Amino acid sequence: MLLGEIKHSITKLKGIGPHTAGQLATLDIMSVADLLLHVPRDYEDRSRIVPLKEGYQDATVNTLVEVVAHDFFGPEHKKTLKVYVKDETATGVLVCFNRNFLQHVLKVGHQFYLYGQFSYRYGDLQSSSFEAEPYPSEHTKFGSILPVYPLSGKLNQSVLRKAVQDALTTYGKYIDNELPESLRSHYRYLEKRRALAQLHFPDSHDSAAQARQSLAYEELLYFQLVVARHSLARKDSRRSPKILPEKLQRSCLKNLPFSLTTDQRSVLTEIKQDLDSAHPMGRLLQGDVGSGKTLVAFLAALPVIEAGYQAAFLAPTELLARQHAERAAELLEPLGVRVAFLSGNVDKNARRPLLDALRTGEVDLLIGTHALFTREVVFQSLRLVIIDEQHKFGVEQRSQLMEKGHAPDLLLMTATPIPRTLTLTFFGDLDVSSIRTMPPGRKEIVTHLARQSNADKVYNAVRHELERGHQAYFVYPLIRGTEKSSLKAAEGAAEQLSSTIFPNYKVALIHSKIREEEKLERMHAFSEGTIDILVSTSVVEVGVDIKNATCMVIEHAERFGLAGLHQLRGRVGRSTLQSYAFLVYSEELTEEGKQRLLVMKESSDGFFIAEEDLKIRGPGEVTGTRQSGFMRLKFADLSGDLTLLDKARKDAFRIIKADPGLLQPDHQQLRRTLECCPPFPEDTLTGG
Ligand code: ADP
Ligand code: MG
C-alpha cells in the first residue's frame, strides 16, 4: 500500500482516544499517514553515554545511575524531594519540583537510566529537568536517538513518539516503495518503509540524513514529474495559432479611470502573444500586492471571452473570490461579459442553474474557490485558467482544474515573489512575467517597529488616523489566547480595543472560525466605512482591497514570517493616502525575529524581501522553507536541497520523455504505473 493510502484514523492506534486525537488534529494529523508524515524538527541523542561528571553548565547527561538517598527541602507544607544519584564518575542531585511522587519511583538502591540537563548549584551537580526510566527495561530510550516533533497545545513528545512508534510497528511493513526501483537502487536510497522508520527513530545521525534524502528526493521527483508533465504536455499540444479579438479589451481599458503602468502593459502584451500562439500559455505573473495583477488578469481574459471561450478564475479564500467577482462584475458586465461566482457556500438551488449555464456556455467567466475543482463543474469550452495566490494551491489541484478544459492557457499569479533560483527550478515549465512598479501616486508605506511596552504610542498614532476618517486593521497571530501564554489574541484584543482603547470607534472581528456569511457582512461593513477598525488573524493576508484603510497594526509581529508580514502590510497603501504599518513586537525577540522585522522596516519591495527571507532562513535549516508559504514540501528544503532538486528535475523530464503515456494518468495512478515500469538502462540515468 502507498503511504498516502493509509487513511485509517489515528484513533486506531493504541492509546489514542478522542482526546489525544483532537490535540493531534490541531497539527493536521488525522490519519496514520499524516502521523508518519509529521517530520521531526530535531533529534535528541541518547545513543551516546555521557557520564554524570560531564554535567555542568546545562550540559545534558545520559547515563545509568543508582539512587543513593532521598532528602527534602523547603517549608513543610510544600517541601520538595531531592534524589541523590551516582554513576561511576560522580554523584548528582535530582530536584523534583512538583514531582514528590518520584520518591516512590526512584527508590533507593535501584538503578535507572537517566537523561537530564545538569549544572553546578550550591556545590552540587543538580538537575531539575530530567527523565528517568527503570533499568533494565524492554522499551528503553537509552541508547537511541529520539525524534523531537513540532508540537502544539498540550501535546508532548512522548505521546507523539509512542503514536509514531506504534504506527510504524502496525503499518510500516505494508508500506510500498514509490520510487521506481531503478532510481532507488541507482542512488542507493532507502526503501520507503525503512526511510520512514529511520526518519523517526534513526540508528544514527547519518542514517537520519539518508532517510531524509531518500524521502526528499522522492517528494521532489513526484513534484517535478507533474511539472514535467505540464511542460511537455503543453509543448506537445498544438493548436492552430489564431489572433484573438481585442475589441472588448480596448473598450475595457477606455472605461478605466486611469491608464495601465508600463509593466502592466508589457505583461498584457506577453500574455496576448501566448494566447495567440500555437502552444497553450503557461505563465507565472509575479508582482507585489497592489501592483495591479488582478486587473491585468481580467483584461487578459477578454480576448478569450470575445472569441467565444470561457475563463476560470480561482482564488484561495471565499472572501477574496467574492471580492474578485464583485470587481469583475463592475468592470466587465457593462461590456456584456457574463460573470458568475461559485464557492462551497453557494446553495443547491442557486448552484444547479449556474452549473447548467456553465455547461451550455452561458457563463463567460467563472470566479470561485476550491469548489471549482469539483466534478460537477463542467465547462462548455474552458480556454483560460487563472489562479490567484497560486502558492495556496497544490500542483494537483491546479491540474484538476486544467483538466476541465482542452489544454487551456494557464496564468498563475503570486504576490509572494519567488527568488530567482527557485523560480528557475520550480517553475521551470513556466514563463515568468513581473510587475515591478506600483500604480502612480502611491506613497511608500511608513513602517514603524514598536515594542509591546510602547503599544500606547501606536494606538495614539492610529487614533490620529481614525480622527481623519481613515480606517485601521489590527492583526494577531491567534484567534483566542490561552491562560498560560501572555500572547495577545484577536478575540480579547477586539474586546479591549472597542471597550477601552477606541471606545468612540466601531470595531469588528473576523477570523476563520466565524461563519462565512458573517465574515462577509463584516468585511462589507468595513469596506463601506461603517466599521472603523477591523481586528483579525491573518485571514486578511491575501488580496483584500480597501482603499480608505491607512493603518496596519500587527501585534506579535515576530510571530509572522516575512512573506506573511509583507502580505499583511500590503493591505494598506492601496490609494494615494499616506499609509502606516506598525509592527509591534514582544520583548523576547529571537535573533531571526529581529532580522525579519529589520528587513520589513528597510524595504517594501517584495522581490527584495523574498531574497532576504531565503538568506535569513539559510540553507540546511531543518524546518527550512516548509513554512515559507510558497511550497508545501514535507521533506525537501528549498534553500538547501537545490542539487537534489536539480537531480529530481532531470530524472523527471527523462522519465516523462521516455514514456509519453505517463502524460495522462492522475497522480496516484502515475505512482503505480512507475512502480511497474521497466527499469531504465543505467546510461539514461546518468546522461544529461
Ligand atoms: P493586485 O492583484 O496585484 O494586488 P489589483 O489588480 O487588485 O492588484 O490592484 C490594486 C488596486 O489598484 C485596485 O484597486 C486597482 O483598481 C488599482 N489599479 C490597478 N492598476 C492601476 C493603475 N495602472 N493605476 C491606478 N490604479 C490601478
Ligand atoms: Mg491580488
| 579 and 454 inside one domain | yes
pLDDT in the model for residue 519 = 85
pLDDT at 407: 85
Specify the pLDDT at position 534: 95
Residue 252 forms part of a structural domain: yes
Task: Supply the pLDDT for residue 663.
Answer: 57
Of the residues 603, 637, 666, the one at which a domain ends: 603
Residue 476 sits in the same domain as residue 399: no
Q: Are residues 336 and 394 in the same domain?
A: yes
pLDDT of residue 181: 85
Domain assignment present for 577: yes
Q: Supply the pLDDT for residue 627.
A: 35
In ligand 1, which atom is closest to the CA atom of 291? 3
Could you write out the DSSP letters of every residue in 510-541?
A: E-TTS-HHHHHHHHHHHHHTS-SEEEESGGG-
Domain-terminating residue out of 567, 585, 603: 603
In a domain, 179, yes or no: no
**Do 510 and 406 sit in the same domain of this protein?**
no
Domains of the chain: total: 3
The dihedral built from the CA positions of residue 484, 490, 492 and 496, taken in this order, carries a sign that is positive
- Residue range 624-664, pLDDT digits in tens: 233 333 345 678 776 666 788 888 888 988 888 887 666 55
pLDDT attached to residue 606: 85
326 plus 394 within the same structural domain? yes
Same-domain pairing of 459 and 577:
yes
C-beta neighbour count of 144 within 10 angstroms: 14
pLDDT attached to residue 488 = 85
Which of 414, 436, 463 marks a domain boundary?
414
Domain presence at residue 474: yes
Pick out the chain residues at pLDDT < 70: 139, 394-395, 420-426, 428, 484, 540-544, 617-633, 638-641, 660-688
Pocket mutation for ligand 1, best pick of 261, 413, 438, 545 (most atoms within 8 Å of C-beta): 545
Query: What pTM did the predictor assign?
Result: 0.63
Distance CA 331, CA 335 (A): 8
Residue 386 to residue 381: CA distance in whole angstroms: 15
Question: If we measure between CA atoms, which residue out of 218, 186, 34, 299 comes closest to residue 652?
Answer: 218
Cell, residue 283: 505563465
Do the bridges between strand 80-86 and strand 91-96 make them parallel or antiparallel, or are there none, so unpaired? antiparallel
By most ligand atoms within 8 Å of CB, the mutation choice from 284, 295, 544, 575 for ligand 1 is 295
Residue 156 falls inside a structural domain: no
Asked if residues 280 and 407 have their Cβ atoms less than 8 Å apart, the reply is yes
Together in a domain, 451 and 549: yes
Do 451 and 396 lie in one domain? The reply is no
Distance 579 CA to ligand 1 centre (A): 16
- In the reported structure, the alpha carbon of residue 458 is separated from the centroid of ligand 1 by a whole-number distance in angstroms of 28
Tell whether 54 is covered by a domain.
yes
Are residue 363 and residue 475 in the same domain, yes or no? no
Q: Alpha-carbon distance 277 to 269, whole Å?
A: 12
What pLDDT digit, counting tens, does each position of 54-108 carry? 988 888 999 999 999 999 999 988 899 999 999 999 999 999 998 999 999 999 9
pLDDT of residue 27: 84
Cell 499569479 belongs to 413
Position 545 in a domain: yes
Q: How far is the CA of 413 from the centre of ligand 2 (A)?
A: 8
Domain containing residue 97: 48-143
Residues 452, 342, single domain; the answer is no
On whether both 392 and 468 belong to a single domain, the answer is no
Give me the CATH number covering residue 53.
2.40.50.140
Q: What was the pLDDT predicted at 371?
A: 92
Question: What spacing in Å lies between the alpha carbon of 313 and ligand 2's midpoint?
Answer: 12
462 lies in the same domain as 355: no
C-alpha 507/C-alpha 522 separation (Å) is: 10
Find the CATH number of the domain harbouring 557. Answer: 3.40.50.300
3-state secondary structure 124-157: EEEEEEEEEEECCCCCCCCCCEEEECCCCCCCCH
Neighbours of ion ligand 2 (CB under 5 A): 294, 543
Cell of 215: 524521502
Q: Is residue 434 part of a domain?
A: no
Beta bridge partners, 630, equal none
Is the Cα dihedral 285, 290, 292, 294 positive or negative?
Answer: positive
pLDDT at position 670, please? 58
Give the separation between CA 512 and CA 99, rounded to whole angstroms. 40
pLDDT tens sequence across 488-497: 889 999 999 9
Closest Cα to atom 27, ligand 1: which residue? 439
C-alpha 593 – ligand 1 centre gap (Å) = 31
d(CA 95, CA 119): 12
Residue 562: which H helix or E strand, with range? helix 562-569
Rg of the chain taking only CA atoms, in angstroms:
29
What distance, in Å, lies between the first and last C-alpha atoms of the chain? Answer: 33
